[in-house]
Amino acid sequence: MKYHGLGRGLGALISKKDNSTNEVFRDNFSDAKNGDAVFYIEIEKINPNPEQPRKEFNEDQLRNLSDSIREHGILQPLVVSKLEKISSSGIEVSYQLIAGERRLRAAKLSGLFQVPVIIRKTTPKENLELAIIENVQRSDLNAIERAVAYQKLIEEYNLTQQEVAARVGKSREAVANLLRLLNLSQEIKDAISSGKINEGHARAILMVKDQRGQMDLFYRILNMGLNVREVENIARTALARVKKIIEIDPNMKFMVSQIEDAVGAKVSVQPRAKGGRIIIEYYQSSDLENIVNKIYKNINSEI
């Protein structure tokens, strides 16, 4: 008997053999693609993965998976690492889950005593990578969970966006866009996680630059049941209105021209619900130096 379906990314990360255990039963099959030995170990010896990026587990889906396991068994082994602790009675062995938490939870619900596993020697970074890849390839993570997991790979394990993208089989742009969701307010992020709005809604909300505008649009989605296209149209209209105000308002244009004359560079203004942003453009380091000198000169002339 052979197991299939580990996935290209997941299989690439667990392709090394490890036959270091002899206290568990070794079955007479291996992973079809990588030649990984599969063992049966007791469920009670498996600890949850602390790097698990998935926080939401749908109870109905777990029950459905549990029913399937009762009927067909576990069709794909879990991935674990071996933990050894010296005690007064000798060496105590347990296992830490790397990938397969849904299967483990469903197996517990179905009353299984043992589950099939592949045993790996991994680092904490590899544990996180495996958990992310398994969930992403099966679309089990919501958008915020994926974004938080990607951010953890970047911040704690010093990966670039490009390296994260390569590991999860996405483009760098897709990873960057997902990470932008973390800039939204916690209320909006919670709504994404709970399924009140979807990732498309969130991307449309991000088109609005100020937080107050984002929250106004968010509440309109909840109260009016807007679809993604409707939200995008509202966001584009709001952006066009801001641009039009800048273009038409004579006072705004006059102030921008004054700033441009003062610094000797092109200036643009981005108004927000409260305040705004002034952007001064430059093309090379010498331009920036000239801009700074002019600002410094104008300040001194006013003193």
- 284 lies in a domain? yes
Which CATH number fits the domain that encloses residue 226?
1.10.10.2830
My answer on whether 192 and 280 are in the same domain is no
- 184 lies in a domain? yes
My answer on whether 233 and 257 are in the same domain is no
State pLDDT tens for residues 142-194. 889 888 888 888 887 788 889 888 877 788 999 999 999 999 999 999 999 88
- 136 lies in a domain? no
State the pLDDT at residue 7: 35
Which CATH number fits the domain that encloses residue 106?
3.90.1530.30
Q: Is 60 exceeded by the pLDDT of residue 248?
A: no
State the pLDDT at residue 204: 93
Please name the residues in contact with 98: beta carbons below 8 A apart, sequence gap of 6 or more.
49, 78, 79, 80, 81, 120, 122, 126, 127, 130, 131
Query: Which stretches of the chain are DSSP H helices?
Result: 8-13, 59-72, 101-110, 124-137, 143-157, 161-168, 172-180, 186-194, 199-206, 211-224, 228-248, 250-263, 285-302
pLDDT confidence bin for 13, thresholds 50/70/90: very low
My answer on whether 233 and 276 are in the same domain is no
Of the listed ranges 26-30, 162-166, 207-211, 237-241, the one predicted with least confidence: 26-30
My answer on whether 106 and 26 are in the same domain is yes
- 218 lies in a domain? yes
State the pLDDT at residue 68: 82
Domain tally, the chain:
3
Q: Give mean pLDDT, residues 124-136.
A: 68
State the pLDDT at residue 185: 93
State the pLDDT at residue 51: 63
My answer on whether 158 and 81 are in the same domain is no
Share of the chain above pLDDT 90, in %: 15
Q: Is 60 exceeded by the pLDDT of residue 21?
A: no
Rounded CA-CA distance 256/238 in Å is 21
- 130 lies in a domain? no
My answer on whether 236 and 190 are in the same domain is yes
Between residues 15 and 163, the one the model is more confident about? 163
My answer on whether 168 and 191 are in the same domain is yes
Domain with 218, as residue range(s), is 145-244
Q: Give mean pLDDT, residues 243-255.
A: 68
Top-ranked range on mean pLDDT: pick from 75-84, 184-193, 237-246: 184-193
Of the listed ranges 146-155, 236-245, 260-269, 289-298, the one predicted with least confidence: 236-245
- 167 lies in a domain? yes
State pLDDT tens for residues 51-64. 666 666 667 777 88
Would you name the residues annotated as active-site residues?
Answer: 101
My answer on whether 161 and 79 are in the same domain is no
State pLDDT tens for residues 191-223. 998 889 999 999 999 998 888 889 989 999 999
My answer on whether 51 and 117 are in the same domain is yes
State the pLDDT at residue 244: 62
My answer on whether 16 and 101 are in the same domain is yes
State the pLDDT at residue 74: 83
Q: Is 60 exceeded by the pLDDT of residue 10?
A: no
State the pLDDT at residue 272: 67
Task: Render the burial of 17-38: b for 16+ CB within 10 Å, e for the rest.
Answer: ebeebeebeeeeebbebeebbb
My answer on whether 13 and 30 are in the same domain is yes
Please name the residues in contact with 194: beta carbons below 8 A apart, sequence gap of 6 or more.
56
- 212 lies in a domain? yes
- 129 lies in a domain? no
The encoded tokens of residue 201 equal 């809604």
My answer on whether 19 and 111 are in the same domain is yes
State pLDDT tens for residues 216-227. 899 999 999 999
Q: Is 60 exceeded by the pLDDT of residue 108?
A: yes
Share of the chain above pLDDT 70, in %: 75
